[in-house]
Chains A and B, each alone.
Chain A
Amino acid sequence: MLCQNCNKRPAKVHFTKIVNNSKVEMYLCEQCANEKSGLNINIGMPTDLNNLIAKFMGVPAEFPSFESVPRCTNCGMDFHEFQKTGKLGCSKCYAAFGERLKPLLKRIHGSVTHTGKVPARVSSTIETTREIERLQQLLQQAIIEEKYEDAAIIRDRIQELKSGRSNTGEAKSGGQFYE
């Protein structure tokens, strides 16, 4: 059945309107229904109210079906499946869907970056990365404040950390300037 308004697109919405106590019924396409009702009728929206994750994603608006769907090469889960269940299939899914997950993470957590505890096996490298980021901010600040001597010390410390020559006594004592 074609939309009774535009006669072009297939009708998807049974549209009922009460005008002066008389009922007007029409079968409309999504677009015409939106225009007529002023409501945002979104047929692709999942109806399962419990599935908050899928609702969060705003499925059809962000990912038109003609776009290729990313799939995790490790466990085989595709992004649509995640949108339906709200659950990922394996640890590699995060890398596979990374950029698409970020808007969702931002909405759930208000952040996309972990800042808490880390496993022992990676703690030294992560601490170094976090320290470099912290120092880079201090460096910017020092430059803005025209404290060029401090800036030079901070810059050298960043270089040290980046080249892996860190945690020597000398570097630690240098660190006191900006602790």
Chain B
Amino acid sequence: MSKWYLEKGPESDVAISSRVRLARNLEKYTFPSRISDEEAVKLVDEIKTLVLSSDKFKGYNFSYFNMQLIDPLNRQVLVEKHLISPDLARGNKPSAALISRDEKISMMVNEEDHLRIQCLFSGMQIDNAVKLGKIVDDKLDSLVEYAFDKEFGYLTCCPTNLGTGIRISIMMHLPGLAMSGYLNSIFEACSKLGVAVRGMYGEHTEAQGNLFQFSNQVTLGQSDEEIAKNIKNIAAQIIEQERRLREQLYSQNKYMMEDKIFRSLGVIQNARIISSDESLKLLSYVRMGVDMGIIKTVSTETLNEIMLITRPACLQKIIGRELSPEERDIERANLIRSRLNTNSGEH
């Protein structure tokens, strides 16, 4: 169903995904904060026509999603796949998303800015994400007139994105740091270095399953490359710390760690009812076990897939109908069991 998670990216034992987001506005339209519905429809149509009909975008096979025409469940599926923001998914104004077939590129139209270009890669691939973002941005730049100022750079609706309009983020799985109680000191260090830490689904979301997103705060006065270098350096250090702590925890508490990991696997492989929260929590320990070579019967790709398809909207999409929360917990348990047992040969 999805694409990026089917690949196992570099440093995938800690780095889950790398993402670049560019905020852009068109000179001729009012910003989304004040745009009329009539003008917004024109904007959406203009971008849709450009992307779907221009030769420049042919190879990417973009699909178009009008937020006011697709139903809430399908919008939520796109949120769970990290292809659109929860804000866009509200669908309360004329807005759209254009998504490439491999789901590495998505463009949101009339979100907080006229255009949000996103490139998403598996594992630690910040450079590839930045590179693809630049290619897509240059293509659009040749087709529209961006709002730009010599002094302030790319003009954005909110001054926090002004300048480069770039937000580079990396999602990391940090059970080692969490278990040894070092998360807060990492977060403090990050905030001093201009790096924001958020939960899995970006702004205003909670951290679930020891998954954290690290992204740059400053967008003005540094080049895209400098910002990328900064995030890469910080991510590299966190990855190193996380690996070191996992090893240390394991060497000092072998049986406790193995117990936690195999109990998690046991529960998730046998549960008949499981909530989204519980599954994320257990998957975190199972993933750590797989990444450390303690569990050998499950692959990272299977875990990535399970993590996505057990989210509420994706789950209902797979089952093919709307489910009550109780039904979801049952279907989630079924789906996880079938995925894990097919791949591991256990029952």
Contacts and interface: CB of A to CB of B under 8 A. Distances in A.
A126 B150 contact: yes
Contact of A87 (B33, B152, B154): B33
B221 A112 contact: yes
A137 B330 CA distance: 69
A114 B151 contact: yes
Nearest 4 Cβ contacts at the A-B interface = A111-B221, A114-B153, A91-B147, A109-B220
Nearest to B134: A117
Given A101-B159, A113-B151, 11 more contacts: A75-B31, A87-B31, A89-B31, A89-B34, A109-B221, A112-B221, A114-B220, A116-B163, A116-B164, A117-B137, A120-B142
Interface string B296-320: 0000000000000000000000000
- Interface size range of chain A in the complex: 20 to 34
Interface of A: 53, 75, 77, 85-91, 93-95, 101, 104-105, 108-122, 125-126, 129
B267 interface: no
A121 B33 CA distance: 26
Main secondary structure of the interface of B (DSSP, over half): loop
Counting chain A CB atoms within 10 Å of each CB, which of B25, B150, B219 scores highest? Answer: B150
Interface string B152-184: 111101111011101000000000000000000
A120 B147 CA distance: 12
B148 interface: yes
A119 B141 contact: yes
7 contacts: A108-B217, A112-B151, A114-B150, A114-B154, A114-B162, A114-B220, A116-B164
Given A91-B27, A109-B163, A116 B222 contact: yes
Contacts of A77: 34
B148 A112 contact: no
B30 interface: yes
B61 to A, nearest CB: 25
B140 to A, nearest CB: 10
Contacts of A110: 218, 221
B49 interface: no
B223 interface: yes
B149 A94 contact: yes
B34 A114 contact: no
Contacts of B219: 109
A104 B27 CA distance: 23
A12 B280 CA distance: 50
Contacts of A118: 148, 153
A135 B222 CA distance: 20
Nearest to A74: B30
Contact of B220 (A86, A95, A112): A112
Interface string B210-237: 0000000111111110000000000000
Contacts of A121: 141, 145
B220 A111 contact: yes
A116 B217 CA distance: 15
B159 A108 contact: yes
Contacts of B218: 108-111
Given A110-B218, A116-B224, A121-B145, A88 B163 contact: no
A88 B164 contact: no
Given A91-B27, A119-B141, A105 B164 contact: no
A121 B149 CA distance: 12
Counting chain A CB atoms within 10 Å of each CB, which of B27, B33, B112 scores highest? Answer: B33
Contact of A91 (B31, B151, B160): B31
A109 B146 contact: no
Contacts of A90: 29-31, 34
Contacts of B163: 109, 111, 114, 116
A112 B149 CA distance: 12
Given A88-B31, A121-B145, A114 B221 contact: yes
A75 B164 contact: no
A125 B160 CA distance: 26
B158 A86 contact: yes
A87 B161 CA distance: 11
B25 A91 contact: yes
